[in-house]
Chains A and B, each alone.
Chain A
Amino acid sequence: MSRYLVGRLAESLIVLLIMSVVIYTLIGLMPGDPIDIMVQSDPHLTPADAARLKALYGLDKPLLERYANWLEAALSGDFGYSRIQNQPVWTVLAPRLVNSIILMGISFVVSLLIALPIGIYSALKPYGARDYAINFIALGGISIPVFWLALMIIYLFSVRWGVLPASGMQTVGVESVWDKAKYLVLPVITLSAANAGSLTRFMRAAMMETMRQDFIRTARAKGLGRRQVVLKHALRNALIPVVTILALSFGNLFSGALITETVFSYLGMGKLIYDSIIGNDYNVALIALLFATLLTLVSNLLADLCYAWLDPRISYGARQA
C-alpha cells in the first residue's frame, strides 16, 4: 500500500511538473508581454528602457532558462507580483482560495443532499414514471449550460422578483455574515444544480448495480426487512464507487465554479484565473492555474485512496500469494 502511495505521489508530481512547463509555455504565448504592456501605458519609456527592463527581469533569455529561473523562485516560495493589483501573488491568491472553498464546499454538500436520496429512491423503483422523470431532470442538469442557468437564475431572483442580489460578495459598507450569505445563495443554487445531475445518475447506477448482486438476494432470502437490506447491505457497497466519483469529479466542480464565479462576480479562484488571463496578469494566471491543477491531482489521489480504504477487496501493489 505505502509503495503504491509513493508511486502515485511521484506520478502526480511528474504530471504537475509537466503541466507547469506546458502552462508556462502557453502563458508565454499569450498576447503581448509584460514589458510591452508597461511601455504602452507609460509614454516616458523609450525602447532602450524597455530593453533594459527586459534584461533586468530576464525576459530576453530563452524560454527554458526563464522557466528554470521561475521554477527556482517558485520552489523557494517567491511567486512574483501581480501586475494588476501590485501585490505579491500569494496575497492575491489566498483570499480567493478561501472564497472558492466556501462556495464549492457548500454547493458540494447541497448537491449531495439532493442527489444521494433521489438517486437511491430512483434505483429502488426503477423504470417507473418517477424514475423516468428523475432521470430526465438529472440529464437536464448535466446538459444545461451553467452560465445560462446562472443568467436565468439572476433574471428570476434579481430582475423579476428582486429578492436576492445579482452579483458581488457583499453590500458596500455592510459588514455582516448574514449579508454575505445573501450574496452566496444564487451562486450556490447554480453550482449545486449543475453538480447534482451527474451525481444523481452515478448514485442511481451504483445502487442498481448493487441491488442486482447475489448477497442482496441472500439478505432478502433470510427474511431481512427491506429497510435493513437497503441501508445496511446495499447502500454501503453502492457508496464505494460513488465516493470515488465524487473525488474524481472535483475538476468538474471547479470548472462549474469558474463559470459561476465569473457570472456572479464572486471573487474566487475561478474568476481570478479568468481575470488574470484576460488582463495579462501572467504571474497570477500561472500560479492560479497550477494551483487548480494541484487541487485536481490531490483529489484524484484521494479518490484512489478512498477506494482502497472503503473496499478491503481491493489491494494496490500487494502481491497475492
Chain B
Amino acid sequence: MTALTLRRFVRHRMAVASAAILAILGVLTLAAPLVELAMGIGANDIDLLHRFAGPSLAHPLGTDELGRDLFLRLLYGGRISLIVGMATALVAAVIGTTIGLIAGYYGGWLDALLMRLTDGVIALPLLPLLIVLSAVDMSKLGFGDAFLAGDSASVYRMMIIIALVGWTTVARLVRGTTLTLREREYVLAARGMGASGARIMLTHVLPNTVSPITVATTLSVGTIILFESVLSFLGLGIQPPLPSWGNMLNNAQELMNEAPALAFYPGILIFLTVVAFNFLGDGLQDSLDPKAVTQRR
C-alpha cells in the first residue's frame, strides 16, 4: 500500500517539487547557526554604519534598518515560522482527532454538543478573534513574569492561540470517518470481545483515519503560517528581537522608499512555503485517496 501511495505521489510533480523546496528550506533554517558561524557575523549584530546596505559578499541579501544581515535573519525567522506552523498544526490535529473520535464513537448528546461547538468555532470571524486572543495580558491569567519575559513566550502563545481555533476541520473529518467505521464488523467483534471504548478508538478506529488527518494537517500548516505571519506583522504575534517572517515585515511599509528589498524577501518566503504546503497537501490527498485518482484519469 505504501509503495503504491508513493508511486501515486511521485506522479504529482508539483507535490514532489514542493516537498523538495520544503526540505531545502527546512535544512537551511535548521543550519542557521552553522551558516552564522561560516559567515562570521551574528544574526542580531547591529551595525548602524551599514544600514540598508545592498547585496555584497559580507551580506548576500544586504542589511536591514539596524544594519543586521538580512539573509541570516531570514533563516532564523524561517525557523520560527516553520516550527510554529508545523507544531501548531500537530497540536490542532491532536485536539481535532480527540474531539472527532469521541463525537463519532459515542454519538448521542455528546456528539451533538461537540459538533455544535465545532460549528460555532467555524462560524466565527477568525482573524478578529485571534487579534483579541493575542492582545490578552498573560499576567492576568496567572503566568509568571519569568515565563513572560523569556524569548519563547510569544512563540508558545501563538501556538496555543492558533491551535485553539484551528482544530475544526480535522474534528469533522475524523468524526465522519469514525461514524462509518463504528458499524464495521471488526469493531463489533472487538466490542463483543469486551474491548473498552478507548481501546477500540485507539487501535481500531484511529489507524483508519490517518490518511484524512495527514492531508488536513498538511493543508492546515499553510493556513497557520499565514495567521502567524499576519499577527506578527500587526505586532501581536512573535515579538522582536526574535525574528519571524511576519514581524520582519513590521516596518517594511514605512521603509518602502529606502529599502523595498526588506519588504520583498520575507513575504516571498512565506508565500513559497504556504504554496508548497498546499501543493503537498493536494498531492497527499490524491495519493492517499485512490478514489480521487480513478476519477481523474
A and B, one complex?
yes
A151 in the interface, Cβ–Cβ < 8 Å? yes
Return the contact of A15 from the options B120, B125, B140 (Cβ within 8 A).
B120
Shortest Cβ distance from A209 into B: residue? B295
Cβ-closest chain B residue relative to A29? B136
For residue B34, CB closer than 8 A to chain A, the reply is no
> Could you tell me if A148 and B125 are in contact, using CB atoms closer than 8 angstroms?
no
Q: Which residue of B lies closest to A142 (CB)?
A: B278
Q: Which residue of B lies closest to A27 (CB)?
A: B132
Question: Is there an interface contact between A293 and B125, defined as CB atoms closer than 8 Å?
Answer: yes
How far does the Cβ of A134 sit from chain B's closest Cβ, in whole Å?
Answer: 14
Q: Secondary structure at chain B's binding surface: helix, strand, loop or mixed?
A: helix
A255 and B123 form a contact (CB under 8 A)? no
Is B233 at the interface (CB under 8 A from chain A)? yes
- Are B132 and A154 in touch, CB under 8 angstroms? no
Q: Is there contact, CB below 8 Å, between A145 and B263?
A: no
- Contact call A147/B230, Cβ cutoff below 8 A: yes
Given A145-B230, A293-B124: A278 and B135 interface contact (C-beta under 8 Å): yes
Q: Is there a chain A Cβ closer than 8 Å to B252's Cβ?
A: yes
Assess whether B128 is in contact with A155, with CB atoms less than 8 Å apart.
no
Contacts of B160 in A (CB 8 A): none
Interface positions of B from 99 to 140, Cβ below 8 Å from A: 116, 120, 123-129, 131-133, 135-137, 140
Check A310 for interface membership: any CB of B closer than 8 A. Answer: no
Would you call A93 an interface residue if the criterion is a C-beta within 8 Å of the partner chain's C-beta atoms? Answer: no
Q: Which of B59-67, B202-210, B269-277 is found at the contact surface with chain A? A: B269-277
Is A300 close to B, CB under 8 A?
Answer: yes
Q: Is the CB of B256 within 8 A of A155?
A: yes
Task: Kindly list chain A residues whose C-beta atoms are within 8 Å of the C-beta of B266.
Answer: 148
Q: Which residues of A contact B127 (CB under 8 A)?
A: 254-255, 258-259
B222: chain A residues at CB < 8 Å are 143
0/1 interface trace, chain A 235-271, chain B, CB 8 Å (1 if under): 0000000000000000100110011001100000010
Q: Hey, which chain A residues are within 8 Å of B229, CB to CB?
A: 145, 147-148
B-facing residues in A206-236 (Cβ within 8 Å): 212
Q: C-beta contact mask, B268-297 vs A, less than 8 Å → 1, else 0?
A: 001100110011001000000000000110
> At the interface, yes or no: A19 with Cβ under 8 Å from chain B?
yes
Tell yes or no: B249 within 8 A of A by CB: yes
Cβ contact within 8 Å between B249 and A139: no
Q: Using Cβ atoms and an 8 Å threshold, which residues of chain B touch A195?
A: none
- Are B275 and A140 in contact, CB atoms less than 8 angstroms apart? yes
Give chain B nearest CB distance to A247 CB in angstroms: 11
Bound form: Cα–Cα A155–B271 in Å:
17
Supposing A152-B263, A293-B125 touch, asked if A274 and B120 sit within 8 A by C-beta, the answer is: no
From residue B272, how far is it (CB to closest CB) to chain A in Å? 9
The residue among A145, A262, A274, A293 with the most chain B CB atoms within 10 A of its own CB is A145
Nearest CB in chain B to that of A132: its residue: B14
Interface of A is mostly: helix
A83 to chain B, nearest CB (A): 15
Contact A143 B278 (CB under 8 A): yes
**Pairwise interchain contact A143-B256, C-beta atoms closer than 8 A:** no
Contact with B along A154-195 (1 / 0, CB 8 A): 110001000000000000000000000000000000000000
A236 to B129, CA, bound (A): 36
Contact B136 A30 (CB under 8 A): yes
User: Closest B-chain residue to A288, C-beta based?
Assistant: B128
A145 and B226: CB pair below 8 A? yes
| Minimal beta-carbon separation of B111 from chain A (angstroms) | 16
* Chain B hits for A146, CB < 8 A: 230
B253 within 8 A of partner (CB): yes
B123 touches A297 (CB 8 A): yes
Expressed in whole angstroms, the Cα–Cα distance for A145 and B127 within the complex equals: 13
Do A273 and B263 touch across chains, with their CB atoms under 8 A apart? no
Bound CA–CA A285/B141 (angstroms): 20
Which B residue's beta carbon lies closest to that of A258? Answer: B127
B267 at the interface (CB under 8 A from A): yes
Check if A277 is an interface residue, CB within 8 A of chain B: yes
The answer to whether the Cβ of A75 comes within 8 Å of any Cβ in the partner chain is no
Q: Indicate if A113 sits at the interface (CB-CB under 8 A).
A: no
Does B156 count as interface, using CB distance less than 8 angstroms? no
Q: Judge whether A148 and B267 touch: CB under 8 Å.
A: yes
Report yes or no: B253 in contact with A151, Cβ–Cβ below 8 A: yes
Given contacts A151-B249, A154-B256, A155-B256, is CB(A254)–CB(B267) below 8 Å?
Answer: no
Q: Determine if A26 and B271 form an interchain contact, defined as CB atoms under 8 angstroms apart.
A: no
Query: Is A45 on the interface with B (CB-CB < 8 A)?
Result: no
Closest CB-CB distance, A255 to chain B, in whole Å? Answer: 4
Q: Any chain A CB within 8 A of the CB of B186?
A: no
Given contacts A259-B230, A273-B131, contact A154 B253 (CB under 8 A): yes
CB distance from B123 to the nearest CB of A (A): 5
- Taken together as a complex, chains A and B put the C-alpha atoms of A23 and B249 apart, in Å, by 29
- Top 4 A-B residue pairs of the complex, sorted by shortest distance between their CB atoms: A148-B267, A255-B127, A143-B274, A31-B137
Interfacial residues, chain B to chain A (CB-CB below 8 A): 14, 116, 120, 123-129, 131-133, 135-137, 140-141, 222, 226, 229-230, 233-235, 246, 249, 252-253, 256-257, 260, 263-264, 266-267, 270-271, 274-275, 278-279, 282, 295-296
A-B contacts, 8 listed (Cβ < 8 Å): A15-B123, A23-B132, A148-B267, A154-B253, A251-B125, A254-B128, A258-B131, A274-B131
